[in-house]
Structure 1
Amino acid sequence: MHITLQKSEIAKQCSVQITGSKSESNRLLLLKALYPQFELENISNSDDSNLMTKALASTDAIVDIHHAGTAMRFLTAFFAIQEGREVTLTGSKRMKERPIQILVEALQNLGADITYEENFGYPPIKIKGKKLIKNKVSLQANVSSQYISALLLIASRLENGLELTLEGKITSVPYINMTLSLLSEIGIENSFNGNTITVNPSTQNPRPKTLVVESDWSSASYYFSLAALSSVGTEITLSSYKKDSLQGDSVLVEIYKHFGVETQFENNTIILTKTNKEVGPFSFDLTHAPDIAQTIAVTCFALKIPCDLTGLHTLKIKETDRLVALKTEIEKLGGQVDITDASLHLHKAETIKSDVSIATYNDHRMAMAFAPIALKTSVIIEDAMVVSKSYPTFWDDLGAIGFKITK
């Protein structure tokens, strides 16, 4: 379904309740499958988390996780230790083009029985669950942190725990720290020293407790963008957020100061206020928060300022090649973008075209990142319901704060 966003203004004061973090939810769902005594609250209502829940409960021989990349990585590790269980893990056409070899090799080095069903290095994969005795493995550190987290999440259920050595520059450290913090929260001992991560085996079951998922900072990014593009004095209140968040995308608070957005923490909410700060060229290394690159690039384009974003090497293996997609769609709107394998340079925009149709490439973040453009000009979003992957109520929430949306 395509939707048209007419040029709009949002309410001067508005508030939005955002569902739990997809990143935290998927980690905790897997940990609950390993340790059923835990209760979870504020779980994400995203497609990805729903697929993760369904897959963990499935007894089928074939488990299809569609577009859910996090689920593919985490479940590869999970099923590898389900003794006596045989599962074929598959997904969408795009999922079959997303590499899994680095994680599979690490698990095989620990003793896992995993084979490729179609193309070497890519899903679908057949996993025969077994007890893993080995506890030392190395992994390239400059790839998706989800490979690393997948291993860490099952580590306490390995016979001898895990000693994971990361080789090279580490990508997305906050996501690794998130995983380790959640392990600590449920009583699993771990350490991260230099390039070595150690997780102790669970000698006794952790005590039952209720774990509350913080709301998703990636989803909040679109409201930071809206605040940056809105009139001075606009206030947007979002819940529920923590000042000491585990999520790497909480760096939004610092980044969006550059665009005139001040953030105040108050009773588990954040209040975004647009100030009269003058904005200029922007540059930032997003190695530790690549998921907000699209939001920032569109913000800069709409503000008509140049930007240089680096540390984007993981964007090529996401739902789509996000660097190519950004370049294509921003240039439709009248911008000029240069990309490499790991960076994006946006030139200062002179004009922003109206009524342009934005392709979304089966990528939820493409749809949501371009929505704030409607504060500057009318735009059409193709396949708009792709947002259900992470934020199913996105369009309803925008309509509630003043967006004029035609389906």
Structure 2
Amino acid sequence: MNLLLQTTHSNLQAQIAVTGSKSETNRLLLLKALFPAITLANTSNSDDSEVMEKALIGKEEIVDIHHAGTAMRFLTAFFAVNEGREVVLTGSQRMTERPIKVLVEALEQLGAKITYENEVGYPPIRIKGQKITASKVNIPANVSSQYISALMLVAPKLENGIEINLVGEITSVPYIKMTLALLNDLDVKTSFEGNVIKVYPKATVEPKEMTVESDWSSASYFFSLVALSDTASVTISSYKETSLQGDSALVEIYKQMGVDSRFENNALTLTKDINFKPETLNLELNNTPDIAQTIVVTCLGLGVGCHLTGLHTLKIKETDRLEALRIELTKLGANISVTNDSLTLVASNTINPNIKIATYNDHRMAMAFAPLALKVPIIIENAEVVSKSYPDFWEDLKSLGFNSTELTV
């Protein structure tokens, strides 16, 4: 499905309920599988969370998680410690190109039995669940935090817990802290000192309902829409001022792009600062790489330059996001350059209209570029890809006055 997006006005007014955080939901789904006394509220309705839940409750030998990278990492650890269970964990063509070796090697240090079905270092992988008694593991600190969180999440059910030594400079600390906070909510004892994380064993937990906060990565598109509007007052829910999600850094980042934020009654209202004067943006996004696409597209729409660093993990996401951004922004007329971990956009007031944006099976490519329809008509290819994290996205855009026309070619 290709969508032509356009709008006749740029004065945005709406109240929108955003689905629960995919990051929190997938962590809690795994914890619920380990501790059935937990109940969950406001879980994500994303494809990723649906395949994660299906895999955790299913009994099949072949577990296909499609494009869900989080599920691949978390389930690798889950099945590795599920004594007596044997599965082949696989996914989409792109998933077979995304590395898993660092996590497999860490689990093997603990005694896990994992083999590669095809290419060494990549899915599909065959996992023979073991009783794990070893507890000490070394893992590079600059890898995706999902590898580290995967180990932490299964640790309470290990006989001796786990002690993770992070080797080098740590990436995505907020996501590690999110995992720790959710474990602490269940009274699992943890510590994180220097480069060492400890999670202690816990046989059972008390019955408890855990409510998932709405997804901050999904909120990023509304920050972008407000920044690119003439005037706006958009309220999104449910959000807390003190969040476990690293992408809540959006509040401070988008203040630099003319968006004011106000929290009230578990909702967040975004308004446009009409006196805002844009300047070149320099940001280090080591802790929040998932919002890089949204930020650079916002800068293009505002006619400002940006230099974004700390983006090395974007190379192994749903697509090589840095290269995808370079290709698609260039089609729009942007002067952009990328390295293995950075992106530089030169300020320009020119945006080519009616450009087809390829999405590369990446939900964030589709949603990050959509706000540009406030400036020029834009075509989003394979628009249905948003279901990976935010199935209601196009309907929510309509509530803001956007027109979307499905194209046959």
What letter corresponds to residue 339 of structure 2 in structure 1?
T
Whole-Å separation in 1 of the counterparts to 2:172 and 2:300: 25
Whole-Å separation in 2 of the counterparts to 1:197 and 1:327: 37
Query: Contact between 1:227 and 1:272, CA under 8 Å: does it hold in 2?
Result: yes
Whole-Å separation in 1 of the counterparts to 2:323 and 2:331: 13
What letter corresponds to residue 372 of structure 2 in structure 1?
I
Pair 1:89–1:273, CA change in 2 (3 A): same
Query: Contact between 1:26 and 1:52, CA under 8 Å: does it hold in 2?
Result: yes
What letter corresponds to residue 45 of structure 1 in structure 2?
N
User: What is the CA-CA distance between 1:279 and the residue it aligns to?
Assistant: 1.0
Aligned to 1:311: 310
User: What is the CA-CA distance between 1:349 and the residue it aligns to?
Assistant: 1.6
Q: Does 1:17 align with 2:23?
A: no
Which string of whole-angstrom CA distances, capped at 9 and with x for unpartnered residues, describes residues 225-268 of structure 1? Answer: 00000013x11100000111000000000000001101001000
User: What is the CA-CA distance between 1:9 and the residue it aligns to?
Assistant: 2.7
User: What is the CA-CA distance between 1:11 and the residue it aligns to?
Assistant: 4.8
Query: Contact between 2:11 and 2:230, CA under 8 Å: does it hold in 1?
Result: no
Whole-Å separation in 2 of the counterparts to 1:61 and 1:13: 49
User: What is the CA-CA distance between 1:277 and the residue it aligns to?
Assistant: 1.3
Q: In structure 1, the residue corresponding to 2:148 is in which secondary structure?
A: helix
Aligned residues: 405
Q: How does 1:1-400 map to 2 (within 5 A)?
A: 1-202=1-202, 204-232=203-231, 234-275=232-273, 276-400=275-399
Query: Contact between 1:10 and 1:403, CA under 8 Å: does it hold in 2?
Result: no
What letter corresponds to residue 110 of structure 1 in structure 2?
L
User: What is the CA-CA distance between 1:400 and the residue it aligns to?
Assistant: 1.2
Query: Contact between 2:27 and 2:179, CA under 8 Å: does it hold in 1?
Result: yes
Query: Contact between 2:12 and 2:400, CA under 8 Å: does it hold in 1?
Result: no
- Which runs of at least 4 in structure 1 moved beyond 2 Å after TM superposition? 7-13
Q: In structure 2, the residue corresponding to 1:156 is in which secondary structure?
A: helix
User: Which runs of 5 or more structure 1 residues have no equivalent in the other structure?
Assistant: none
Query: Contact between 2:12 and 2:401, CA under 8 Å: does it hold in 1?
Result: no
Pair 1:212–1:22, CA change in 2 (3 A): same
- RMSD, aligned α-carbons: 0.7
Whole-Å separation in 2 of the counterparts to 1:247 and 1:353: 35
What letter corresponds to residue 19 of structure 1 in structure 2?
T
Which string of whole-angstrom CA distances, capped at 9 and with x for unpartnered residues, describes residues 104-160 of structure 1? Answer: 000000000000000000000000001001000010010100000000000111110
Query: Contact between 1:264 and 1:271, CA under 8 Å: does it hold in 2?
Result: yes
Query: Contact between 2:11 and 2:229, CA under 8 Å: does it hold in 1?
Result: no
Whole-Å separation in 2 of the counterparts to 1:165 and 1:99: 21
User: What is the CA-CA distance between 1:187 and the residue it aligns to?
Assistant: 1.0
Whole-Å separation in 2 of the counterparts to 1:13 and 1:122: 46
Identity of aligned residues (%): 61
User: What is the CA-CA distance between 1:379 and the residue it aligns to?
Assistant: 0.4
Whole-Å separation in 2 of the counterparts to 1:263 and 1:153: 33
What letter corresponds to residue 139 of structure 1 in structure 2?
I
Task: Output the TM-score relative to the length of structure 1.
Answer: 0.99
User: What is the CA-CA distance between 1:7 and the residue it aligns to?
Assistant: 3.7
What letter corresponds to residue 363 of structure 2 in structure 1?
H
Whole-Å separation in 2 of the counterparts to 1:366 and 1:349: 21
Whole-Å separation in 2 of the counterparts to 1:48 and 1:6: 29
Whole-Å separation in 2 of the counterparts to 1:71 and 1:47: 11
What letter corresponds to residue 164 of structure 2 in structure 1?
L
What letter corresponds to residue 242 of structure 2 in structure 1?
D
Whole-Å separation in 2 of the counterparts to 1:218 and 1:11: 23
After the TM superposition, which of the residue ranges 1-10 and 90-99 deviates more from structure 2? 1-10
Whole-Å separation in 2 of the counterparts to 1:12 and 1:389: 26
Whole-Å separation in 2 of the counterparts to 1:10 and 1:256: 18
Query: Contact between 2:239 and 2:266, CA under 8 Å: does it hold in 1?
Result: yes
What letter corresponds to residue 127 of structure 1 in structure 2?
I
Whole-Å separation in 1 of the counterparts to 2:343 and 2:108: 36
Query: Contact between 1:8 and 1:374, CA under 8 Å: does it hold in 2?
Result: no
Query: Contact between 1:312 and 1:342, CA under 8 Å: does it hold in 2?
Result: yes
Whole-Å separation in 2 of the counterparts to 1:379 and 1:206: 50
Q: Does 1:401 align with 2:400?
A: yes
Whole-Å separation in 2 of the counterparts to 1:49 and 1:206: 23
What letter corresponds to residue 223 of structure 1 in structure 2?
F
User: What is the CA-CA distance between 1:350 and the residue it aligns to?
Assistant: 3.4
Whole-Å separation in 2 of the counterparts to 1:357 and 1:343: 24
Whole-Å separation in 1 of the counterparts to 2:284 and 2:113: 38
User: Which runs of 5 or more structure 2 residues have no equivalent in the other structure?
Assistant: none
Q: In structure 2, the residue corresponding to 1:179 is in which secondary structure?
A: helix
User: What is the CA-CA distance between 1:206 and the residue it aligns to?
Assistant: 1.1
Which string of whole-angstrom CA distances, capped at 9 and with x for unpartnered residues, describes residues 191-232 of structure 1? Answer: 000000000011x41100000000000000000000000013
Which string of whole-angstrom CA distances, capped at 9 and with x for unpartnered residues, describes residues 274-322 of structure 1? Answer: 0121111101000000000000000001111000000000000000000
After the TM superposition, which of the residue ranges 6-15 and 379-388 deviates more from structure 2? 6-15
Q: In structure 1, the residue corresponding to 2:26 is in which secondary structure?
A: helix
Query: Contact between 2:62 and 2:88, CA under 8 Å: does it hold in 1?
Result: yes
Task: Output the TM-score relative to the length of structure 2.
Answer: 0.98
